[in-house]
Amino acid sequence: MDNNPTTTTTTTTMIEIKNLRFTYPGIDGHPPPGSTPLIDNFSLSLQSGERCLLVGSNGAGKTTILKILGGKHMVEPNMVRVLGRSAFHDTALTSSGDLCYLGGEWRRDVAFAGFDVPIQMDVGAEKMIYGVSGVDPQRRDELIKVLDIDLSWRMHKASDGQRRRVQICMGLLKPYKVLLLDEITVDLDVLARADLLTFLKKECQERGATIIYATHIFDGLENWPSHMVYVAHGKLQLAMPMDKIKETSNLSLMRTVESWLRKERDEDRKRRKERKASGLPEFEDKVDGRRVIGDPARSVPPVLNNGWAAGRLHSTIKGEENFILSSNRVLRQ
Ligand SMILES: Nc1ncnc2c1ncn2[C@@H]1O[C@H](COP(=O)(O)OP(=O)(O)OP(=O)(O)O)[C@@H](O)[C@H]1O
């Protein structure tokens, strides 16, 4: 990606994604043979100091991409490099704190540097924060201030937002080089969120850290990102420096993203309508190399487990053999 001017003097490639392809494993632990990849042909490169907003509609693949970058899903090592290393295979990347992922599972329990405390326990904020070893006391003080944490808070009595502040503080105690944020600010009040975003921006400008932040909330983000990445159906639609985006759109950040998502939704609707008009089912995919088709509105029941559902799908269309599996994957829209 083009680099935006930052106060760092040298830039280094921090994240390199090359032709990423990924399919979630099925019930047997393997990707269903012949199935359509969820993430396909996805490439992206981010330099030190860059702050990238990752946007897309629900189910577009943002969390999946962040988890792959965070080393939580295995992919071929040359497809994804973080700090020049494979996040999945090189566990030292996360254990050293150089690569930090805050989202998903992290939100449910605080798990940081071996300190694993369920948030329901009667434990004080001070104990949790000071329990993380090997931390620069100055950085700790700054984070406590930025997040306006009262060290006497008891975790089991704290509000969602207060608990989240303690969690975020713990997650950021070590000076990461790459930070992956999967919408962690939903519970924060306007002030806490604004101060946190300012702190994160400073980290990129002063220390050359790189951040990818997946979010649906654009309040107060207008001048935060240096780059935007838009993903739809697991495919990269756009990766651009913010100043270029501002050149092409007079709209606010939120309205700009809204216009992309509206266009995407309208195109999806149009495609579905055309398929229906030509006698084809609205959805199709390949499983075991066979075409599997269906109309989820009529025939696919809710997701049962792990993205799979049992269901009846259409049979034969235009002479093609359309397979009905006992456990059909829910077809992507
Ligand atoms: N463990 C899983 N097994 C199978 N499919 C999954 C799994 N996790 C997610 N998916 C599917 O992958 C697709 C992308 O999901 P993902 O969570 O990456 O999207 P997202 O862009 O983060 O969405 P949102 O904005 O709603 O958080 C969805 O269709 C989802 O159903």
Q: Where are the domains of the chain?
A: 1-101+177-278, 114-173, 282-333
Give the lowest-confidence range in 76-90, 265-279, 319-333. 319-333
Give the lowest-confidence range in 88-97, 118-127, 289-298. 289-298
How high does pLDDT run on average in the chain?
79
- Asked whether residue 208 carries a pLDDT value surpassing 90, the answer given is yes
Task: Kindly state the DSSP code that residue 124 receives in the 8-state scheme.
Answer: B
1-101+177-278 CATH pick, 3.90.226.10, 3.30.460.10, 3.40.50.300, 3.30.390.30: 3.40.50.300
| Confidence band for 184, pLDDT divided at 50, 70 and 90 | confident
Report DSSP letters for 19-52, one per residue: EEEE----TTSSPPTTPPPSEEEEEEEEETT-EE
DSSP reduced 3-state for 109: strand
Q: What is the pTM of this model?
A: 0.81
| Confidence band for 25, pLDDT divided at 50, 70 and 90 | confident
Interface predicted TM-score (ipTM) of this complex, two decimals: 0.98
User: Between 227 and 30, whose confidence is greater?
Assistant: 227
Best of 20, 58, 63, 180 for a ligand 1 pocket test (most atoms within 8 Å of beta carbon): 63
Encode pLDDT of 73-115 as tens digits: 989 999 999 999 998 899 899 888 899 999 866 555 554 433 4
What integer pLDDT is reported at residue 14 of this predicted model? 95
- Asked whether residue 331 carries a pLDDT value surpassing 80, the answer given is no
- Asked whether residue 330 carries a pLDDT value surpassing 50, the answer given is no
- 211: tokens are 């951040």
* Dist. CA 202 → ligand 1 center (Å): 31
- Long-range contacts of residues 20-24, Cβ cutoff 8 Å, at least 24 apart: 20/65, 20/68, 20/75, 20/79, 20/80, 21/75, 21/79, 22/64, 22/68, 22/73, 22/75, 22/234, 24/64, 24/306, 24/307
Our answer on whether the CB atom of 60 is closer than 6 Å to any ligand 1 atom is: yes
What integer pLDDT is reported at residue 34 of this predicted model? 59
- 331: tokens are 């077809």
What integer pLDDT is reported at residue 185 of this predicted model? 86
Encode pLDDT of 66-75 as tens digits: 999 999 898 9
Among the atoms of ligand 1, which is closest to the Cα of residue 57?
25
Best of 21, 38, 105, 236 for a ligand 1 pocket test (most atoms within 8 Å of beta carbon): 38
What integer pLDDT is reported at residue 37 of this predicted model? 84
- Asked whether residue 135 carries a pLDDT value surpassing 50, the answer given is yes
Our answer on whether the CB atom of 59 is closer than 6 Å to any ligand 1 atom is: yes
- What residue owns the CA closest to ligand 1's atom 6? 307
| Confidence band for 121, pLDDT divided at 50, 70 and 90 | low
Q: For 41, left (φ over 0), alpha (ψ -120 to 50), or beta?
A: left
Region 183-200 average pLDDT: 92
- CA angle 28-34-36, nearest 5°? 100
Among the atoms of ligand 1, which is closest to the Cα of residue 67?
18
Note whether 213 and 53 are within 8 A (CB): yes
Please say whether the dihedral angle defined by the alpha carbons of residues 186, 192, 198 and 202, taken in this order, is positive or negative.
Answer: negative
Encode pLDDT of 34-65 as tens digits: 567 889 999 999 999 999 999 999 989 999 99
What integer pLDDT is reported at residue 277 of this predicted model? 75
- CA angle 272-278-283, nearest 5°? 35
Q: For 101, left (φ over 0), alpha (ψ -120 to 50), or beta?
A: beta
